[in-house]
Amino acid sequence: MATQFSIKDDDVDIVIGALQSDLTSFMNAWKPIFSRFHLIIVKDPELKEDLKIPDGFDVKIYTKADMDKTAGASLTSQLFSGYSCRYFGYLVSSKKYVISIDDDCIPAKDDKGFQVDAVAQHLFNLAVPATPLFFNTLYDPFCKGADFVRGYPFSMREGVPCALSCGLWLNLADLDAPTQALKPEQRNTRYVDAVLTVPAKALMPLSGINIGFNRELLGPALFPGLKLTKEGKLRWETMEDVFSGMCVKVVCDHLKFGVKTGLPYVWREERGDAVQSLKKDWEGMKLMEDAVPFFESIKLPAEAVKAEDCLLEIAKLVKERFAAEKNSVFIQAADAMTEWVNLWKKVVPASN
Amino acid sequence: MATQFSIKDDDVDIVIGALQSDLTSFMNAWKPIFSRFHLIIVKDPELKEDLKIPDGFDVKIYTKADMDKTAGASLTSQLFSGYSCRYFGYLVSSKKYVISIDDDCIPAKDDKGFQVDAVAQHLFNLAVPATPLFFNTLYDPFCKGADFVRGYPFSMREGVPCALSCGLWLNLADLDAPTQALKPEQRNTRYVDAVLTVPAKALMPLSGINIGFNRELLGPALFPGLKLTKEGKLRWETMEDVFSGMCVKVVCDHLKFGVKTGLPYVWREERGDAVQSLKKDWEGMKLMEDAVPFFESIKLPAEAVKAEDCLLEIAKLVKERFAAEKNSVFIQAADAMTEWVNLWKKVVPASN
């Protein structure tokens, strides 16, 4: 099929978490793609220097002062430090669609050498249906030249709304610290020209590096709050997006929304030293061993009909499951989830 | 990871169902790839003319006389006509791995213009583990240059044995008759450079056009028997592979084996007229509406520890579920499954 779609530029916010003060080269690299849209740049509350942002963008900047005013100083430090500062942008956006890309990524080139418009691809993924109930072997049936293959049930071909689009990474892939440390020379060079819907009931490790989502459908389902004890300012030292991603997938399965993965790619530049990160005793490794079976076991009640209901329910289940580990990152994450949903309900009028 | 694998040529049978008598151009196109292996060519029992097969292959030919001798004339016509003749080859093979490709397919070229060795790719897929329990966003973690992404549980990185490798099609994709009739000019030109494990619990429409499987693990799980009332000799008029594929997926999920899909591609030549097929009142459309929810609901008992146990159990469940439709294709398929497993147990010594 070759599905047409139209999303107004006004329905989109691009949210960037600024972990570095000088965004000049990042913004200039994205200029042809970003300049049509409204941008929300959220400065890491722990970043001291003033931001350097080139001219030519429709941009609103949020800093620690805005966070403190909206959430209070205590919640700000709990929720919005480091990569998690972007979630403040998700909160204060008033748009239907949000695209978010890490500030160490630039536009990638496709397998024919053309620059990829990551925003357009995310919006396409979000605008056309997802197909989580039966796997289509030719990937996204709605993309140009593709279709449903023989045997795909006709009653399922309408699909379901797509709530989340997860893009990928060329050059430096999103590996964990041990893998990256073990293979310092490894680069991802394989351009896989496909988008697919992650099947219902299957969990996947969401990366927050390069995503787009339907904020009307997902509400506060992408949230900050899972903090590793020795979390740093490098992607492989964080797990907040992976943890939140498992919640989102459970929520989408329950509410009958789809999650897509694949295109668009972004080009990730080098940042950090994986071997140094390894010295931190990488807690994330152990965390997933408990988290995955837990998320697989979750059944949400039929009364949970909005993302915020689902999230509060999951927070309750996390607290029950990990009650024995009083100070664990899970209990802290569940507290943060609840705080976050309450904050969302206060700030976002439509969520009540 | 860049996983090494070694499969001996002697452990492989290539099974070709001959629906046309002159295989000269088909065989010559595949010569560089097929000539190292033992070939089983099974002649459609309804095909009258003698087969034309060029020299230079290690090939054993089976005809209706062999089928009648092994299965009896009645079972032969029930099980082995048309595309289903290949299943006789699966039965009489004595190898660990079977590769099967339709006789209207020739080797494809990859996105760089190199000829694809479909056999080598199937064997690679089968030799390295599958990862059905958690989705890896960078696709097959065992292929060169790829790995597990951040957040993938370490305890799941060993994966499970891969039992089935489903390849794809360039040029003429495997669409159903209505879709093909609606879009007679549509061709699949998108080369997606990826292999992925279909997640546990997700069903997909298996196509028998281009597959490889581990015969030691799957035994008789790929079976003929679902015949549409007006089934013809064109792929879009058949559903036996799609139906069997749902059984295989349920069996693999139960026995903790993996099913992969993606590479290798083959190039499918034109055959048949989709509009003519449409006049047959395409039964397959309605069939899947009942079959998918049924297969999704199946829970196999813990006592079913081999593929043949699982198959007999599924046949029983099909009969219960569709008992009200006495002469339906489902009941006939369940009867055929039972006959097929009994035949397998008789012919394949290790299966008892």
For A56-83, the pLDDT digits (tens) are 999 999 999 999 999 999 999 999 999 9
What DSSP character marks residue A140? -
pLDDT of residue A220: 97
Q: pTM of the predicted model, to two decimals?
A: 0.96
Q: Which residues of A touch B150 (CB under 8 A)?
A: 174-176, 179, 205, 207, 235-236, 239, 242, 284
- The percentage of residues in chain B with a pLDDT greater than 90, rounded to a whole number, is 83
Residue A1 predicted with pLDDT over 70:
no
pLDDT of residue A180: 87
pLDDT of residue B281: 66
Contact A175 B148 (CB under 8 A): yes
Q: Which residues of A touch B236 (CB under 8 A)?
A: 150
Q: Which residues of B touch A190 (CB under 8 A)?
A: 145-146, 193-194
pLDDT of residue B298: 96
Residues B165 and B5: their CA atoms lie apart, in Å, by 15
Tell whether A335 is covered by a domain: yes
Contact B191 A194 (CB under 8 A): no
Using CB atoms, which residue from A189, A201, A284 is nearest to B201? Answer: A201
Q: Which residues of B touch A289 (CB under 8 A)?
A: 153-155
Q: Residue A229: what residue type?
A: T
Residue A84 predicted with pLDDT over 60:
yes
Q: Which two tokens stand for residue A42?
A: 């959220």
Residue A263 predicted with pLDDT over 70:
yes
Burial of B324 (0-12, 13-18, 19+ CB in 10 A): exposed
Using CB atoms, which residue from B154, B196, B242 is nearest to A151? Answer: B242
Q: Indicate the length of chain B as a whole number.
A: 352
Q: Average pLDDT over chain B, rounded to whole?
A: 94
Q: Average pLDDT over chain A, rounded to whole?
A: 94
Residue B288 in contact with partner chain A when CB distance is under 8 A = yes
Using CB atoms, which residue from A134, A138, A196 is nearest to B188? Answer: A138
Q: Which of residues 129-168 of A touch B (CB under 8 A)?
A: 134-139, 145-156, 166, 168
Residue A236 in contact with partner chain B when CB distance is under 8 A = yes
pLDDT of residue B271: 75
Using CB atoms, which residue from B179, B203, B284 is nearest to A134? Answer: B203
pLDDT of residue B3: 65
pLDDT of residue B350: 72
The predicted model gives B197-208 an average pLDDT of 98
Q: What's the CATH code of the domain at A86?
A: 3.90.550
Contact A205 B239 (CB under 8 A): no
**Main-chain dihedrals φ then ψ at residue B8, nearest 5 degrees:** -75, 140
Residue A2 predicted with pLDDT over 60:
no
Contact B147 A199 (CB under 8 A): no
The predicted model gives A274-285 an average pLDDT of 75
- The percentage of residues in chain A with a pLDDT greater than 90, rounded to a whole number, is 83
Tell whether A3 is covered by a domain: no
pLDDT of residue B317: 97
Residues A228 and A284: their CA atoms lie apart, in Å, by 7
Residue A280 predicted with pLDDT over 80:
no
Contact A151 B207 (CB under 8 A): yes
Residues B346 and B342: their CA atoms lie apart, in Å, by 6
CB atoms inside a 10 Å sphere around CB B47: 18
Residues A259 and A247: their CA atoms lie apart, in Å, by 12
| In contact, B188 and A145? CB cutoff 8 Å | yes
Using CB atoms, which residue from B138, B190, B239 is nearest to A146? Answer: B190
Contact A175 B150 (CB under 8 A): yes
- Three-state secondary structure string covering chain B: CCCCCCCCHHHEEEEEEECCCECHHHHHHHHHHHCCCEEEEEECCCCCCCCECCCCCEEEEECHHHHHHHHCHHHHHHHCCHHHHHHHHHHHCCCCEEEEECCCEEECECCCCCECCHHHHHHHHHHCCECCCCCCCCCCCCCCCCCCCCCCCHHHCCCECEEEEEEEEEECCCCCHHHHHHCCCCCECCCCCCEEECCCCCCCCCCCCEEEEEHHHHHHHCCCCCCCCCCCCCHHHCCHHHHHHHHHHHHHHHHCCEEEEEEEEEEECCCCCHHHHHCCCCCHHHHHHHHHHHHHHCCCCCCCCCHHHHHHHHHHHHHHHCCCCCCCHHHHHHHHHHHHHHHHHHHCHHHC
Spell out the residues 6+ positions from residue B339 whose beta carbon is closer than 8 angstroms to its own: B75, B78, B79, B225
Residues A154 and B292: their CA atoms lie apart, in Å, by 11
Report the gap between the CA of A70 and the closest CA in chain B (Å). 31
- Classify the C-alpha dihedral B152-B154-B156-B162 as positive or negative: positive
Confidence of residue A352 (pLDDT cuts 50, 70, 90): low
pLDDT of residue B141: 96
Tell whether A74 is covered by a domain: yes
Residue A300 predicted with pLDDT over 70:
yes
For B141-182, the pLDDT digits (tens) are 999 889 999 999 999 999 999 999 999 999 999 998 888 888
Nearest Cα neighbor of B9 from B45, B49, B39, B38 is B38
Q: Which residues of B touch A168 (CB under 8 A)?
A: 137-138
- Provide the residue range defining the domain that includes B170: 11-347
Question: Between A and B, how many CB-CB pairs are < 8 A?
Answer: 181
pLDDT of residue A281: 66
Residue B7 in contact with partner chain A when CB distance is under 8 A = no
Spell out the residues 6+ positions from residue B338 whose beta carbon is closer than 8 angstroms to its own: B312, B315
Query: End-to-end CA distance of chain B, in Å?
Result: 38
| In contact, B51 and B42? CB cutoff 8 Å | no
Confidence of residue B329 (pLDDT cuts 50, 70, 90): very high
Tell whether A17 is covered by a domain: yes
Q: Which residues of B touch A138 (CB under 8 A)?
A: 168, 173, 188
Tell whether A2 is covered by a domain: no
Q: Which two tokens stand for residue A242?
A: 């992976």
| In contact, A224 and A244? CB cutoff 8 Å | yes
ipTM over 0.85: yes
Nearest Cα neighbor of B91 from B127, B66, B116, B108 is B66
Tell whether A213 is covered by a domain: yes
Tell whether A52 is covered by a domain: yes
Q: Which of residues 50-109 of B touch A (CB under 8 A)?
A: none
Using CB atoms, which residue from A147, A284, A288 is nearest to B173? Answer: A147
Strands (E), chain A: 12-18, 38-43, 58-62, 97-101, 105-107, 162-171, 195-197, 210-214, 258-268
Contact A205 B179 (CB under 8 A): no
Report the gap between the CA of B43 and the closest CA in chain A (Å). 25
For A136-186, the pLDDT digits (tens) are 999 999 998 899 999 999 999 999 999 999 999 999 999 988 888 888 888
Contact A201 B204 (CB under 8 A): no
Report the gap between the CA of A179 and the closest CA in chain B (Å). 8
pLDDT of residue A91: 98
Nearest Cα neighbor of A168 from A263, A68, A102 is A263
Q: Which residues of B touch A236 (CB under 8 A)?
A: 150
pLDDT of residue A86: 98
Residue B47 predicted with pLDDT over 60:
yes
Contact A168 B138 (CB under 8 A): yes
Confidence of residue A273 (pLDDT cuts 50, 70, 90): confident
Q: Residue B330: what residue type?
A: F
| In contact, B306 and B219? CB cutoff 8 Å | yes
**Main-chain dihedrals φ then ψ at residue B80, nearest 5 degrees:** -115, 20
pLDDT of residue A195: 98
What DSSP character marks residue A104? T
**Main-chain dihedrals φ then ψ at residue B241, nearest 5 degrees:** -75, -35
Helix (H, G, I), strand (E, B) or coil at A267: strand
| In contact, B157 and B101? CB cutoff 8 Å | no
Using CB atoms, which residue from B191, B193, B204 is nearest to A135? Answer: B204
| Residue in B closest to A242 by C-alpha | B151
Report the gap between the CA of A180 and the closest CA in chain B (Å). 10
Contact B176 A150 (CB under 8 A): yes
Question: What is the number of domains present in chain B?
Answer: 1
Using CB atoms, which residue from B150, B186, B245 is nearest to A147? Answer: B186
pLDDT of residue B2: 55
Tell whether B238 is covered by a domain: yes
Report the gap between the CA of B284 and the closest CA in chain A (Å). 7
Confidence of residue A22 (pLDDT cuts 50, 70, 90): very high
Helix (H, G, I), strand (E, B) or coil at A173: coil
| In contact, A59 and A29? CB cutoff 8 Å | no
Contact B179 A148 (CB under 8 A): yes
Q: Indicate the length of chain A as a whole number.
A: 352
Q: Which of residues 167-226 of A touch B (CB under 8 A)?
A: 168, 173-176, 179, 183, 186-194, 196, 198-207
Q: Which two tokens stand for residue B46?
A: 């309804």
The helix-helix angle for B307-321 and B329-347 (nearest 10°) equals: 160
Residue A315 predicted with pLDDT over 80:
yes
The DSSP bridge partners found for residue B208 are none
- The percentage of residues in chain A with a pLDDT greater than 70, rounded to a whole number, is 98
Helix (H, G, I), strand (E, B) or coil at A167: strand
Nearest Cα neighbor of A2 from A165, A122, A131, A144 is A144
Integer CA distances (angstroms), B150 to A165, A256, B308, in order: 18, 26, 38
pLDDT of residue A345: 96
Residue A31 predicted with pLDDT over 80:
yes
| Residue in A closest to B170 by C-alpha | A138
Q: Which residues of A touch B198 (CB under 8 A)?
A: 135, 199
